[in-house]
Amino acid sequence: MREQVAKMIEIIEHLPPERIAEVADFVEFLQQKENDIRLREDFFASF
């Protein structure tokens, strides 16, 4: 997994600033999606 992350960072470093901002927005979207999934799973597990 570290190799994948390192490769992604290498690619991102060569993007123009506006594309880096898009990547950051997308990563935040994915993070929020994961948080929502966990909250939903925790909620239903409590029953």
Give the tens place of pLDDT for each residue, 22-36: 999 999 999 999 999
- Name the token pair of 40: 């939903």
pLDDT at residue number 10? 97
Query: What is the model's pLDDT at position 47?
Result: 86
Range of the domain at 21: 2-45
Taking all residues of the chain, what is their mean pLDDT, rounded to a whole number? Answer: 96
C-alpha to C-alpha distance for 37 and 11, rounded to whole angstroms: 28
10-42 burial, b for 16+ CB within 10 Å, e for fewer? eeeeeeeeeeeeeeeeeeeeeeeeeeeeeeeee
pTM for this predicted structure: 0.78
pLDDT score recorded for residue 46: 87
pLDDT exceeds 90 at position 15: yes
- Number of domains observed in the structure of the chain: 1
